Structure 1
Amino acid sequence: MTAPTAITGARIFDGDLWHENRALLIGNGKVAAIAALGDVPADARIVPMDGLSLVPGFIDIQVNGGGGVLLNEQPDVEGIRTICAAHARFGTTALLPTLITDSREVTATTIAAGLAAREARVPGFLGLHLEGPHLSVARKGAHDPAFIRPMEQADLDRIVAARRGLDVLLTTLAPENATNDQIGALHAAGVTVSLGHSDSGYETAAAAVEAGARMMTHLFNAMSQLGNREPGMVGAALDLGHLNAGLIADGYHVHPVSIGAALRAKRGPGRIFLVTDAMSPIGTDMTSFFLNGREIFREGGRLTLADGTLAGADIDMASCVRYMRDTVGVELEEALRMASLYPAEAIGMTGRKGRLTHGHDADFAVIDGGVNVVATWIGGMPVFTA
């Protein structure tokens, strides 16, 4: 039996509480215990992390790219590997590479790449997020309207088949372009259905939730807004307790006052959690890139099409946590949960991810007091050291 690893000298946040003067014990890629220093096994491999903090690894379920790779442009195992490695530098230990609306052929190729990435055990790969093509043209954002279309039986069959080979499969759709029967079939097959890029009203969204939708994609963006006579998709996300909602906390997609109001208004048990919606420039000095043949420009922390439309985000998860703490005013512990525990809840992975307690995957970020990532471990192994 392999000797355990003991991480010592660091404060440990298990997802609920901080532990001082304790060691994180790791065995076979899992958390064995948070133990008193006197209980560390004599044969343990000691890894000192004095003066730092261990926190559950970040889980990002909307990641379009990173490290110079956009999934749409390189839908293969090496592309997925590059994206995962790029985000590991910023504390993300599990992610869903996200395909932005594209052709049937690119979608099929991406699914095949996801299945191959799972087989290859790519560190950090958790599954896929298919964002589209069954969206609303009226709320398309940066999605190419040439590819947007209603869901057909062949699309449904492909997604259900893909779910059988993936730990997690998330799809974003608009109720305008998918029926409640289709949403129900996806839910029954274990697919996480997220509502997004939709101009639907509250009642339509509520019916989709009744059918099995359980998430809302990038709250406030590319959706009907909360109004005095029509609550819209935003109102549905906040009022319907079964819905979890992703949030891009970069200072451009949502105003901090709106974020604070949403956090106070959200009805449970559903949560608001963090996503990056990151594109290929993360971890690089790129100033532009292409999506579906259209150039996207990077300037001042924003990514936009030539007409100024926001096109994904130029932010990593550690930066989102800092923004929530420093600008929105959320306690650090809650910001950390928004980046780890709550996304794990949203995709049904709390048995493995989101906490540092016995039996959970030994996925964690090592951070300093400024929430800068010093190291990242996945499955009990270091994958990044600053």
Structure 2
Amino acid sequence: MPAPFAVTRGRIFDGSTFVDGQALIVEGVRIAAIVPADQLPAGTAEVDAKGMIVSPGFIDLQVNGGGGVLFNNDPSVAGIRTICGAHARFGTTALMATLITDTPEVGAAAIAAGIEAHRQKVPGFLGLHLEGPHLSVARKGTHDPSLIRPMAATDLARLIGAAGLFGEAIVTIAPESVSAEQVARLVEAGYVVSLGHTDTKAATAAAYIAAGASMATHLFNAMSQMANREAGLVGAALASGQISCGLIADGFHVAPTVMQVALRAKQGPGRIFLVTDAMSTIGTDQTSFELNGRQVYREGGRLTLADGTLAGADIDMLSCVLFVHQQLGLPLGEAINMASLYPAGAVGCASKGQLTAGMDADFLLLRSDLSLAATYIGGVCAYHQSEPTNTDQ
């Protein structure tokens, strides 16, 4: 277990307010307290934040890959470890490894890997997000239509049998392929059910929300849109306080003006939170990769299939935070909360998303220009970058 230490001389954002002149005390994997800097216990080891922002670590509920690994192509503990390590370099301290629609065999391997990664306590691994295969072909996005299918009794039994064994659990489904009764059973077993890749009408979405669905997957993308006489899933998700919505803030998946309108319209207590939907390219110079036997191309910050269909995103969570802060004009604290407090709340993870006594010691050091200096996961430094050298002198 890490030795106790205090983070000093930083500006702490605890998830509610920015405070100065305080020290963050870490004991083991938890935050012990925030105390006045001149009241540290004698002999406490110190990490000098040098005036930087001390922020809650980012939580990403939709990560398909990173560090050259795509979870579909490498559903293993080693794959999960590489993905988590890659995203730690961009401020993500907890992520849901996400499996896109695939074969039953790959699905079983992914669940087995998630169970073992949870057992091994892989740093940064929060759980699994199973995005499909029980979706709608009409809103397939980049998912292989030949692998999309209705949820059978055996599928439901397999999911219920694995519940609670791999950490937090999200399953994205479409009402076209999953019944409301199946949703209720998944929720009872401990899954967060997210509606996505669906052409459902608002009334049907409302029935599934009543059955226990509490999330919408990548708002606006691969779902029925809001129109003048039919609200679609977009309208239903924004109007329902029970629904939290993932949002890909890369400027390609959703137009900035649309993001601003959605943020103003969203009814609480459910929130809009940031997700990356990141693929294997994060932290690499990859120019292409394979998904379900099809080539995905990377160019200009976008990932697409040969026909131009967006295929996940080429963005990290810090970049998403910077986008909503700098491009949308959100206050920095709110932008950070969209990547920490709000996703933690969406999956009911009460130990993450804030820097208060008893919470997990997952935090970041951000320089004045909001570049990342260090990532701590469970009180251990998972990534550190020295101050950039000025080469102009």
- 2:363 paired residue number: 364
Structure 1 residue 164, shift from structure 2 partner: 2.4
- 1:325 paired residue number: 325
Counterpart residue identity of residue 13, structure 1: F
Find the aligned partners of 1:170 and 1:156 in 2 and give their Cα distance. Answer: 14
- 2:154 paired residue number: 154
Find the aligned partners of 2:381 and 2:340 in 1 and give their Cα distance. Answer: 18
**Partner SS for 2:149:** coil
- 1:272 paired residue number: 272
- 2:172 paired residue number: 172
Gaps of 5+ in 2: 386-393
Structure 1 residue 167, shift from structure 2 partner: 2.2
Counterpart residue identity of residue 319, structure 2: S
Find the aligned partners of 2:166 and 2:69 in 1 and give their Cα distance. Answer: 22
**Partner SS for 2:374:** strand
Find the aligned partners of 2:205 and 2:148 in 1 and give their Cα distance. Answer: 19
Find the aligned partners of 1:315 and 1:265 in 2 and give their Cα distance. Answer: 25
Could you say if the C-alpha distance between residues 267 and 69 of structure 1 is closer, same or farther in structure 2, counting changes exceeding 3 Å?
same
Counterpart residue identity of residue 99, structure 1: L
Find the aligned partners of 1:371 and 1:256 in 2 and give their Cα distance. Answer: 21
Counterpart residue identity of residue 229, structure 2: R
- 2:122 paired residue number: 122
- 1:247 paired residue number: 247
Find the aligned partners of 1:269 and 1:244 in 2 and give their Cα distance. Answer: 8
**Partner SS for 2:289:** strand
Structure 1 residue 3, shift from structure 2 partner: 5.1
Could you say if the C-alpha distance between residues 108 and 3 of structure 1 is closer, same or farther in structure 2, counting changes exceeding 3 Å?
closer
Find the aligned partners of 1:98 and 1:308 in 2 and give their Cα distance. Answer: 22
Counterpart residue identity of residue 303, structure 2: L
Write out per-residue CA displacement over residues 165-211 of structure 1, whole angstroms, 9 at most, x where no aligned residue.
12211000001100000000001111000000000000000000000
Find the aligned partners of 1:373 and 1:35 in 2 and give their Cα distance. Answer: 24
Counterpart residue identity of residue 37, structure 2: L
Once the two structures are superposed, the pairs formed by residues 214-225 of structure 1 within 5 Å of their partners are: 214-225=214-225
**Partner SS for 2:176:** helix
Find the aligned partners of 2:161 and 2:383 in 1 and give their Cα distance. Answer: 34
Could you say if the C-alpha distance between residues 177 and 12 of structure 1 is closer, same or farther in structure 2, counting changes exceeding 3 Å?
same
Find the aligned partners of 2:276 and 2:353 in 1 and give their Cα distance. Answer: 17
Write out per-residue CA displacement over residues 257-281 of structure 1, whole angstroms, 9 at most, x where no aligned residue.
0000000000111100000000000
Counterpart residue identity of residue 144, structure 2: D
**Partner SS for 2:155:** helix
**Partner SS for 1:198:** coil
Q: Does 1:382 align with 2:385?
A: no
Q: Identify which range, 233-242 or 157-166, moves more after superposition.
A: 157-166
- 2:12 paired residue number: 12
Contact in 2 for aligned 1:71/1:99 (Cα 8 Å) = yes
RMSD: 0.9
Give the fraction of aligned pairs with identical amino acids, expressed as a percent.
Answer: 58
Structure 1 residue 158, shift from structure 2 partner: 1.2
Structure 1 residue 369, shift from structure 2 partner: 2.1
Q: Identify which range, 203-212 or 362-371, moves more after superposition.
A: 362-371
Find the aligned partners of 1:157 and 1:375 in 2 and give their Cα distance. Answer: 42
Contact in 1 for aligned 2:116/2:166 (Cα 8 Å) = no
Gaps of 5+ in 1: none
Contact in 2 for aligned 1:91/1:317 (Cα 8 Å) = yes
Contact in 2 for aligned 1:4/1:43 (Cα 8 Å) = no
Structure 1 residue 42, shift from structure 2 partner: 1.1
Once the two structures are superposed, the pairs formed by residues 1-386 of structure 1 within 5 Å of their partners are: 4-349=4-349, 351-386=350-385
TM-score by length of 1: 0.99
Q: Identify which range, 43-52 or 290-299, moves more after superposition.
A: 43-52
Find the aligned partners of 2:255 and 2:317 in 1 and give their Cα distance. Answer: 18
Find the aligned partners of 1:64 and 1:57 in 2 and give their Cα distance. Answer: 19
| Number of aligned residue pairs | 385
Could you say if the C-alpha distance between residues 200 and 256 of structure 1 is closer, same or farther in structure 2, counting changes exceeding 3 Å?
same
Find the aligned partners of 2:218 and 2:125 in 1 and give their Cα distance. Answer: 21
Could you say if the C-alpha distance between residues 2 and 97 of structure 1 is closer, same or farther in structure 2, counting changes exceeding 3 Å?
closer
Contact in 1 for aligned 2:114/2:127 (Cα 8 Å) = yes
Contact in 2 for aligned 1:296/1:304 (Cα 8 Å) = yes
Find the aligned partners of 2:2 and 2:246 in 1 and give their Cα distance. Answer: 39
Contact in 1 for aligned 2:11/2:21 (Cα 8 Å) = yes
TM-score by length of 2: 0.97
**Partner SS for 1:382:** strand
**Partner SS for 1:176:** coil
Contact in 2 for aligned 1:10/1:50 (Cα 8 Å) = yes
Find the aligned partners of 1:43 and 1:78 in 2 and give their Cα distance. Answer: 39
Q: Which runs of 4+ in 1 moved over 3 A?
A: none
Structure 1 residue 2, shift from structure 2 partner: 7.3
Structure 1 residue 139, shift from structure 2 partner: 0.2
Find the aligned partners of 1:162 and 1:124 in 2 and give their Cα distance. Answer: 20
Find the aligned partners of 1:328 and 1:160 in 2 and give their Cα distance. Answer: 40
Counterpart residue identity of residue 47, structure 1: V
Find the aligned partners of 2:43 and 2:197 in 1 and give their Cα distance. Answer: 54
**Partner SS for 2:112:** helix
Could you say if the C-alpha distance between residues 152 and 23 of structure 1 is closer, same or farther in structure 2, counting changes exceeding 3 Å?
same
Find the aligned partners of 1:110 and 1:2 in 2 and give their Cα distance. Answer: 30
**Partner SS for 2:83:** helix
Write out per-residue CA displacement over residues 319-340 of structure 1, whole angstroms, 9 at most, x where no aligned residue.
0000001111111110100000
Write out per-residue CA displacement over residues 31-82 of structure 1, whole angstroms, 9 at most, x where no aligned residue.
0111111221112111111121110000000000000000000000000000
